[in-house]
């Protein structure tokens, strides 16, 4: 094995030759030059070519692989890293004849003595994928990139969370005969089938439509009901923060733990993503108000005709708790999407029961854990046990969860 590291011409970029002769030959046969971007300055230098590749090759469900989205993540999660954190960039870039044709947006980290690589953007990004140009050599490039990551990044394990079955990455993982460690569904509504809100609403039973009208009427008895969609500025920032606060309160009352919401960096991320005029991330914040009070808030991301609902939360105050405000904000968001001519309303995974009421299709989403060393195998086994314990905790009665959390705390 060759193990030398060579500094590329771009500061903060490293080209690695830590590949076997056969792997290097395969990479050369694919006509691909691969290197790793390890610092923020070099990452920023990729903006133009990353954006051009995204425009040429990305599909709407690859919104979490957009440069701007990951720039906000870097500014929020890397810049505000706890002291002593081992989190670092490890973006793999592939060029063919000097042209950027492939980007793997990866990060590297260390936990319990195990070095692993994972997808940039976690926990706010929800789908993992690779940006790769649609060319006859696509599969050769993907295989070369995978071999490069296995051999050249010094990892004990590769974590690949939330891969859609229609992802480019899924095609590669299936060809490698890798088995997922977790499977779920991401429900979505095909808005093209409806074309208008009235046609979409006809999918609900008359009883359901009547119940929603009753809920809206009850809210209107407390004040004027209004919905506003915010796409930037201070009002959007405040509304996004309110959505996060409401979600945390709901988790607390349910006796649930969320790694994402236990970390204050999610506040910084959305404050940046929903307000930045220079690095727009496609964020929209929908606010349902009754009079001057917020009843529900939803944060969504729009990309190439797809609307992804990222956070949806409602006010747990007594007069709103049973008002169906969460359903009403979803209903209004779908109406807005149809009016805007969007084609997909994506509720993402997991496939919680309430999501199927609003959607008419699903896509399978899988998590993969690929151990590369003995330490990686042990870590993967521990991860399986941890997931089983988490599922058992979440399935316990609410009163039991709340007692447990009152003793151990939530990490905030």
* DSSP-assigned letter for residue 399: H
Q: b vs e for 22-44, b when ≥16 Cβ sit within 10 Å of the residue's Cβ?
A: ebbebbeebebbbbbbbbbebbe
**What is the count of structural domains for the chain?**
2
174 with 191, same domain: the answer is no
* Cβ atoms 402, 255 nearer than 8 A: yes
The per-residue pLDDT for 235 is 96
Looking at the structure, do residues 41 and 172 belong to the same domain, yes or no? yes
Helix spans in 14-61 (H):
21-29, 40-45, 47-57
Where the chain has pLDDT below 50, the residues are 1-7, 9, 17-18, 22, 25-26, 388-394, 401, 404, 408, 411
Shared-domain flag, residues 120 and 197:
no
Is residue 223 within 8 A of residue 290, CB to CB? The reply is yes
pTM for this model (two decimals): 0.88
> Do residue 345 and residue 305 come from a single domain?
yes
Task: Return the pLDDT at 256.
Answer: 84
Same domain, 101 and 193: no
Residue 272: its pLDDT value, please? Answer: 97
The reply to whether 239 and 165 lie within a common domain is no
**Which pLDDT value is given to residue 86?**
82
Which runs of consecutive H residues, i.e. helices, occur in 341-408?
374-394, 398-408
Residues 122 and 194 in one domain: no
Same domain, 74 and 221: no
Domain assignment present for 295: yes
Look at residue 226 and tell me if it is in a domain: yes
- What per-residue confidence (pLDDT) applies to 410? 53
Please say which residue of 153, 178, 203 terminates a domain: 178
Q: CB neighbours of 396 closer than 8 A, spacing ≥ 6? A: 404
Please indicate, yes or no, whether residues 275 and 141 belong to a single structural domain of this protein: no
292: DSSP letter:
T
Residue 74 domain flag? yes
Q: Measuring CA to CA, which residue among 31, 33, 44 is closest to residue 6?
A: 33
Could you report the per-residue pLDDT of 164-180, keeping only the tens digit for each? 999 999 999 999 999 99
User: What domain range includes position 129?
Assistant: 5-178
One domain, residues 156 and 219 = no
Does residue 49 lie in a domain region?
yes
Over residues 226-256, the pLDDT tens digits come to 999 999 999 999 999 999 999 999 999 888 8
User: In terms of domains, do 66 and 162 share one?
Assistant: yes
Residues 70 and 101 in one domain: yes
Residue 282 lies inside a defined structural domain of this protein:
yes
The span from the CA of 228 to the CA of 108, in Å, is: 39
Asked if 136 and 120 count as a contact pair (C-beta separation under 8 A), the reply is no
Backbone angles phi, psi at 385, to 5 degrees: -65, -40
């Amino acid at each position: 094995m060759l193990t030398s590291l060579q500094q590329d011409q771009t500061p903060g970029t490293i080209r690695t030759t830590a590949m076997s002769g056969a792997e290097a030959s395969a990479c050369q046969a694919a006509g691909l030059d691969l290197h790793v971007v390890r610092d923020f300055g070099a990452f920023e230098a990729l903006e133009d070519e990353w954006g051009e590749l995204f425009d040429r090759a990305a599909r709407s469900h690859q919104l979490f692989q957009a440069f701007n989205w990951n720039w906000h993540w870097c500014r929020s999660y890397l810049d505000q890293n706890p002291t002593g954190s081992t989190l670092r960039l490890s973006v793999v870039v592939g060029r063919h004849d000097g042209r950027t044709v492939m980007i793997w947006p990866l990060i590297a980290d260390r936990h319990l003595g195990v070095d692993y690589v994972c997808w940039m953007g976690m926990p706010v990004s929800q789908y993992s994928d690779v940006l790769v140009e649609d060319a006859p050599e696509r599969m050769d490039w993907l295989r070369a990139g995978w071999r490069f990551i296995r051999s050249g990044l010094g990892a004990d394990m590769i974590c690949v969370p939330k891969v859609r079955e229609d992802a480019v990455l899924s095609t590669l993982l299936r060809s490698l005969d890798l088995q997922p460690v977790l499977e779920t569904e991401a429900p979505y509504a095909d808005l093209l089938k409806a074309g208008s809100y009235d046609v979409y609403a006809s999918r609900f039973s008359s009883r359901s439509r009547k119940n929603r009208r009753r809920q809206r009427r009850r809210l209107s008895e407390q004040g004027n009901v209004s919905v506003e969609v915010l796409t930037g500025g201070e009002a959007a920032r405040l509304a996004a923060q309110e959505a996060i606060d409401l979600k945390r309160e709901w988790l607390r009352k349910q006796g649930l733990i969320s790694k994402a919401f236990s970390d204050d960096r999610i506040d910084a991320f959305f404050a940046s993503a929903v307000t930045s005029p220079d690095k727009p991330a496609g964020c929209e914040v929908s606010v349902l108000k009754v009079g001057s009070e917020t009843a529900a808030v939803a944060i969504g991301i729009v990309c190439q005709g797809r609307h992804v609902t990222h956070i949806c939360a409602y006010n747990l105050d007594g007069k709103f708790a049973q008002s169906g405000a969460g359903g009403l904000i979803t209903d209004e968001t779908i109406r807005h999407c149809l009016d805007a001519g969007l084609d997909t309303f994506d509720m993402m995974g997991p496939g919680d029961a309430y999501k199927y009421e609003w959607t008419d299709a699903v896509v399978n989403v899988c998590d993969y854990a690929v151990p590369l060393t003995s330490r990686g195998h042990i870590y993967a086994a521990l991860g399986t046990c941890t997931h089983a314990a988490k599922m058992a905790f979440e399935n316990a009665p609410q009163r039991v969860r709340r007692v447990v959390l009152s003793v151990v705390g939530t990490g905030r």
